[in-house]
């Protein structure tokens, strides 16, 4: 198969959208947190916890959508811990974030061992099935990619639209954007910076967890260790790539996913000649290059990572 | 008419016995203040007199330790900006509280609609903003991003924010500090329109001229206490100034003394720094016991001259001589070792480390020497003692040596920097804009200390954009223009007009 022929196969585009879905959820989550002024480095661990929480709910006999809700609540709970430490207590967002990542992933593995002490191969669940949109899914090439996916993928795209609407069209979004830029402007208008920031971190963390659970309930059908594999960190880069804007971040997630899907296929084409690790590296190298080009001009939220203390000069 | 008088006399705001302490410092001591309908009251006081603290209490940013506040006859819940807003109090802060990433409209509308409403109502917000800006002469395009606005325009947005919320009481904290004279006049016109509509205004300032121009009544604060209250129609600037500082202020006019020997000399020095106007072919002699003033318009090479003397810049050509010899390896450290004391132009960015304590800041130039360190360890006991001594000697108002220096007012910070510079008895003092942004009392203090140092025999180089300051302090005067320095003139040799022409770059060589 030729290098360019890959781009004209439906399976490539289907894979790209599937790979993008968890990134989209988690990137929107991180974006909400950062827009309110809080860097959430707990993302990687929260995705692990979300992946497990959703999966184990279904494994224990729960409905698939119940699993998604449980995952979101788990994420929100970790978000609450993160927000309590970083917002009212004003602790370092870096340290707390890394701490949350370690805590959430360790707790997850611990719980996994407690719940399933004797399994060697991970048990499976019945994941979300594809839901093809009539007629639209018959469009060649992009039809299957956009209109023959699982409901969670559709939900990812809906999430982007909702986040963009809330941020730019509602009083709530206005308050979130102001809280990340100049919290004293929020306070001077009689709103609670603490409330807005904590709420944003909790909602953002819930979205990260849903991103995680996409992996166990839509992409795969079981939970195993290390399955999140750095996707959280990629999402942090995607937020920067997207200049803290939902639409641009979505483009970033799709680009990254497309590179990833492409390199998997390239391995099969050129794998004999070039070591496969080079292909694995490719999406990351390209993201760094894209970040350098795009992020230099990005205007970041001015109060990002700065704790707000009321009445301080 | 009688009815109108009664309405005018109505008290809209009453502060009673407000006391606020920060550690050992009493920022407000039992302050009473009444504000009537349709009245502009000026709150006058020096930096650090407690004006801003009082207003922050009123607006709910701080909670008072004692005292009560009543707005429109109802008690105001302390510590809650939302309660202040709901009671019709609007505040225009000295440092604007605007979010740069939002538009004018978004900044004004922020927090005015229920946060859970599904949609921000831009149309009605725009209509209302246009109406208000037309009514009060606050021209602004609501759709512009705040990041693009000039300072005067940002202030208009702040005022509109308050009016949009139907504020009946408007507090303006040092509103003219950042404005050009034209913008100031426009602001005053707006304020008059506002009080004509029945609003009441508290105008915080330390500028006597403006207070006399705009206020009906003046309340003077000094050292956290109420120093007096006057109607502007029945007082004078002199009386207010005396109330404000507590004693008659007179600028020092110390007579020149016989010049000592040349301590520092520049011979045809040019610099090549990375930014700003560089100095070229500058020759200068600093004598002991002489204040040498450099007059000039900002940006004409003052920064390069100061950088050169403080060791940040090295001469590209020409010679720098101290005590007759050229010091090897010119650096800030050499400059300090050779006894050059520096009072930097920007006390926040260069003169201090904002988040470090007073103690840490005052030993910043000397922590290496034997007074404050032994075997490579800092002797904190000695450092603290030194800080305490400077605080006492230089009359610095601060709660303790552990206080972070950013919490000090500008005048107090400058006094500490002055103390740090003058305490080791330097032979050369580089005073770059030493009184910028300070109030009258602090200015007089800094001047007195510089004259004292001169009388001890130090060579003082005073760089200032304030020609009055240069004229009143300097024994010799140079003019700097476009990086070149004039010859030196004795005090009184050139008229203000002649100096002004030279500052504009005319006739520097000819003079």
Structural contact between residues B79 and B115, judged by C-beta atoms closer than 8 angstroms? no
Question: Do A100 and A78 form a contact (C-beta atoms < 8 A)?
Answer: yes
B131 and B257 housed in the same domain: no
Q: Which of A170, A181, A299 sits opposite B117 (nearest CB)?
A: A170
What pLDDT is attached to residue A271?
63
Any B CB within 8 A of A243 CB = no
B364 touches chain A (CB under 8 A): no
Domain endpoint, select from B400, B425, B450 = B425
* Assigned domain for B152 exists: yes
> Which of B101, B170, B398, B403 would you mutate first to test chain A, the one with the most A CBs within 10 A?
B101
**CB pairs < 8 Å spanning A and B:** 88
The answer for B 255-294 residues in CB contact with A (under 8 A) is none
Which strands sit side by side in the sheet containing B262-271, from one edge to the other? Answer: B282-287, B262-271, B315-322
Looking at residue A313, its pLDDT comes to 39
Looking at the structure, tell me whether residues B23 and B77 fall in a common domain.
yes
Establish if A172 touches chain B: CB-CB under 8 angstroms.
Answer: yes
- Give the pLDDT of residue B114: 92
Residue A311 — very low, low, confident or very high, per pLDDT cuts 50/70/90? low
Q: Tell me the C-alpha to C-alpha distance, in Å, between residue B259 and each of B102, B424, B460.
A: 59, 22, 12
B266 and B223 fall within a common domain: no
From CA A111, how far away is CA A103, in angstroms rounded? 12
Is B392 part of a structural domain of the chain? yes
- Average pLDDT per run of 10 along chain B, which is 511 residues long? 53 93 84 94 83 88 91 89 90 88 96 92 95 91 92 91 94 82 86 94 85 93 89 86 63 71 94 83 94 86 92 91 88 91 88 91 86 87 93 89 88 91 93 84 88 93 85 91 90 79 68 46
Q: Tell me, what CATH number does B109's domain have?
A: 3.40.50.300
Segment holding B122, helix H or strand E: helix B122-136
Same domain, B66 and B194: yes
- Cβ contacts of A171 on chain B, cutoff 8 Å: 109-117, 120
Asked if B140 and B153 count as a contact pair (C-beta separation under 8 A), the reply is: yes
- Residues 123..142 of A with a Cβ closer than 8 Å to B: which? none
Residue B395 and residue B382 in one domain: yes
Q: How far is A24 from chain B (nearest CA, A)?
A: 23
Chain A CB contacts of B103 below 8 Å: none
Query: What strands lie across the sheet with B217-222, from one edge to the other?
Result: B89-92, B169-173, B200-205, B40-44, B217-222, B225-231
CA dist., res. A225 & res. A223, Å (int): 7
A274 to each of A268, A269, B11, B16, B280, how far by Cα in Å? 10, 10, 84, 81, 61
Residue A273's φ and ψ, nearest 5 degrees, are -95, -50
Collapsing DSSP to helix, strand or coil, B422 comes out as helix
Question: Which residues, listed in sequence order, are joined to residue B89 by a DSSP beta bridge?
Answer: B169
Give the pLDDT score at A178: 97
Q: How far apart are CA A237 and CA A214, in angstroms?
A: 20
- Give the per-residue pLDDT at B511: 46
Reported as a single tens digit per residue, the pLDDT across A258-277 is 989 988 888 877 666 778 88
A311 vs B120: CB contact, 8 Å cut-off? no
Of the residues B196, B228, B245, the one at which a domain ends: B245
pTM over 0.80: no
Cα-based distances in Å from A293 to A298, A299, A309 = 10, 14, 35
Using the beta-carbon criterion (under 8 Å), do B101 and A186 form an inter-chain contact? no
Residue B347 lies inside a defined structural domain of this protein: no
Establish if B56 touches chain A: CB-CB under 8 angstroms.
yes
Residues B172 and B76 occupy one common structural domain: yes
User: Is residue A297 classed exposed, middle or buried when 0-12, 13-18 and 19+ CB atoms within 10 A define those classes?
Assistant: exposed
On the 0-12 / 13-18 / 19+ scale of CB atoms within 10 A, B146 is buried
Q: Is B344 contained in some domain?
A: no
Enumerate the residues of chain A whose CB falls inside 8 A of the CB of residue B116: 171-172
- Which has more pLDDT, B509 or A97? A97
pLDDT at B250: 47
CB atoms within 10 A of CB B328: 6
Q: How far is B386 from chain A (nearest CA, A)?
A: 26
Q: Which of A171, A175, A176, A311 to mutate to test the interface with B (most CBs of B within 10 A)?
A: A171
CA distance A312 to chain B (A): 9
Dmax over Cα atoms in chain B, in whole Å? 82
pLDDT in tens, A20-64: 999 999 999 999 999 999 999 999 999 999 999 999 999 999 999
Split into its structural domains, chain B has a count of: 3
Identify whether residues B396 and B504 lie together within a single domain.
no
Which residue in A has a C-alpha nearest to residue B82's C-alpha?
A: A190
A-chain CB neighbours of B82 within 8 Å are: 190-191
Range of the domain at B448: 251-339+426-511
Please tell me the distance in Å from B410's CA to the nearest CA on chain A: 13
Chain A residue numbers with beta carbons less than 8 Å from the beta carbon of B102 are 174, 177-178, 181
Q: Are residues B218 and B295 in the same domain?
A: no
Residue B346 lies in a domain: no
Note whether A189 contacts B161, CB cutoff 8 Å. yes
| Binary contact (A311, B118; C-beta < 8 A) | no
| Shared-domain flag, residues B184 and B285 | no
Domain boundaries along the sequence of chain A:
5-116+147-295
Contacts of A304 in chain B (CB under 8 A): none
Output the DSSP codes for B261-288. Answer: -EEEEEEEEEE--SSSPPP-SEEEEEET
Quick check: A189 contacting B, CB < 8 Å?
yes
Residue of B nearest to A173 (CA): B115
Q: What dotted CATH number matches A5-116+147-295?
A: 1.10.3470
Please report residues of A whose CB lies closer than 8 A to that of B99: 177-178, 181-182, 185-186
Convert the pLDDT of each residue in A279-296 to its tens digit. 888 888 887 887 888 777
The answer, for B354 touching chain A at a CB cutoff of 8 Å, is no
Same domain, B57 and B115: yes
A311: chain B residues, CB-CB within 8 Å: 56, 61-62
End-of-domain residue from the set B245, B279, B306 = B245
Judge: B101–A189 Cβ closer than 8 Å, yes or no: no
**Helix then strand then coil, % of chain A, to nearest 5:** 70, 0, 30
pLDDT in the model for residue A77: 98
**Does residue B56 sit in the same domain as residue B107?**
yes
Residue B469 shares a structural domain with residue B381: no
> Do B167 and B199 contact (CB within 8 A), yes or no?
yes
Q: Chain B within 8 Å of A47 (Cβ-Cβ)?
A: no
């Amino acid at each position: 198969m030729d290098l360019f022929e890959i781009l004209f196969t439906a399976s490539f585009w289907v894979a790209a959208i599937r790979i993008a879905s968890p990134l989209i959820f988690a990137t929107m989550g991180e974006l909400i947190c950062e827009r309110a002024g809080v860097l959430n480095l707990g993302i990687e661990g929260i995705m692990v916890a979300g992946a497990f929480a959703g999966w184990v709910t279904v494994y224990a006999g729960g409905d698939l959508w119940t699993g998604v809700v449980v995952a979101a609540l788990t994420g929100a709970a970790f978000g609450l811990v993160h927000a309590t430490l970083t917002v009212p207590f004003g602790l370092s967002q870096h340290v707390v974030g890394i701490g949350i990542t370690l805590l959430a992933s360790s707790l997850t593995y611990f719980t996994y061992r407690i719940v399933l002490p004797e399994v060697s191969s991970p048990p499976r669940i019945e994941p979300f099935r594809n839901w093809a949109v009539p007629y639209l899914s018959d469009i060649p090439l992009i039809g299957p990619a956009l209109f023959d996916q699982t409901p969670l993928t559709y939900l990812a795209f809906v999430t982007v639209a909702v986040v963009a609407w809330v941020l730019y069209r509602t009083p709530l979004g206005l308050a979130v954007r102001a809280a990340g830029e100049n919290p004293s402007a929020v306070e001077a208008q009689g709103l609670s910076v603490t409330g807005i920031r904590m709420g944003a971190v909790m909602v953002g963390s819930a979205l990260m967890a849903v991103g995680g659970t996409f992996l166990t309930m839509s992409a795969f059908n079981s939970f195993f260790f290390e399955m999140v594999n750095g996707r959280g960190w990629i999402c942090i880069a995607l937020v920067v790539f997207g200049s803290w804007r939902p639409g641009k971040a979505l483009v970033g997630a799709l680009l990254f996913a497309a590179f990833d899907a492409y390199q998997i296929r390239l391995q099969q084409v050129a794998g004999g000649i070039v070591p496969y690790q080079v292909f694995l590296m490719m999406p990351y190298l390209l993201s760094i290059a894209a970040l350098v080009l795009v992020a230099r001009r990005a205007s970041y939220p001015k109060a990002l990572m700065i704790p707000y203390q009321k009445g301080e000069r | 008419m009688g009815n109108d008088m009664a309405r005018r006399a109505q008290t809209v705001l009453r502060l009673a016995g407000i006391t606020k302490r920060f550690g050992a410092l009493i920022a407000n001591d039992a302050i009473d203040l009444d504000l009537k309908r349709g009245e502009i009251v000026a709150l006058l006081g020096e930096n650090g007199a407690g004006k801003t603290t009082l207003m922050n209490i009123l607006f709910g940013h701080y909670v008072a330790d004692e005292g009560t506040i009543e707005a429109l006859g109802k008690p105001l819940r302390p510590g809650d900006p939302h309660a202040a807003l709901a009671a019709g109090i609007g505040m225009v802060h000295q440092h604007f509280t605007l979010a740069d990433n939002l538009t004018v409209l978004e900044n004004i509308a922020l927090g005015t609609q229920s946060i859970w409403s599904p949609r921000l109502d831009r149309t009605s917000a725009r209509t209302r903003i246009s109406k208000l800006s037309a009514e009060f002469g606050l021209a602004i395009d609501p759709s512009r991003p705040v990041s693009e606005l000039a300072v005067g325009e940002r202030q208009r947005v702040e005022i509109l924010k308050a009016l949009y919320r139907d504020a009946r009481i408007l507090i303006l904290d040092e509103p003219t500090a950042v404005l050009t004279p034209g913008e100031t006049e426009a602001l005053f016109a707006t304020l008059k329109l506002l009080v004509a509509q029945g609003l009441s205004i508290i105008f915080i300032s330390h500028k006597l001229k403006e207070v006399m121009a705009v206020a009906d009544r003046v309340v003077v604060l000094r050292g956290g206490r109420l120093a007096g209250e006057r109607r502007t129609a029945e007082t004078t600037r002199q009386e207010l100034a005396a109330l404000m500082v507590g004693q008659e202020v007179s600028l020092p006019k110390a007579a020149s003394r016989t010049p000592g020997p040349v301590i520092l000399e520049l011979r045809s020095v040019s610099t090549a720094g990375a930014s700003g106007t560089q100095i070229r072919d500058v020759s200068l002699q600093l004598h002991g016991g002489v204040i040498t003033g450099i007059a000039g318009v900002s940006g004409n090479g003052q920064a390069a001259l100061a950088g050169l003397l403080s060791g940040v810049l090295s001469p590209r050509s020409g010679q720098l001589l101290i005590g007759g010899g050229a010091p090897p390896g010119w650096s800030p450290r050499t400059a300090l070792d050779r006894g050059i004391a520096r009072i930097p132009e920007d006390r926040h960015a260069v003169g201090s480390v904002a988040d470090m304590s007073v103690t840490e800041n005052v030993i910043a130039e000397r922590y290496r020497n034997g007074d404050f360190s032994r075997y490579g360890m800092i002797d904190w006991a000695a450092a603290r003692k030194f800080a305490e001594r400077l605080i006492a000697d230089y009359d610095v108002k601060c709660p303790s040596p552990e206080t972070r220096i950013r919490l000090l007012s500008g005048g107090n910070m400058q006094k500490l920097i002055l103390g740090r510079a003058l305490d080791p008895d330097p032979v050369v003092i580089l005073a770059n804009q030493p009184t910028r942004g300070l109030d009258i009392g602090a200015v007089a203090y800094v001047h007195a200390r510089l004259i004292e140092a001169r009388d001890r025999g130090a060579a003082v180089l005073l760089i200032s954009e304030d020609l009055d300051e240069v004229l009143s302090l300097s024994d010799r005067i140079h003019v700097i223009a476009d990086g070149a320095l004039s010859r030196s003139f004795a005090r009184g040799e050139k008229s203000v007009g002649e100096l002004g022409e030279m500052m504009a770059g005319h006739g520097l060589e000819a003079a």
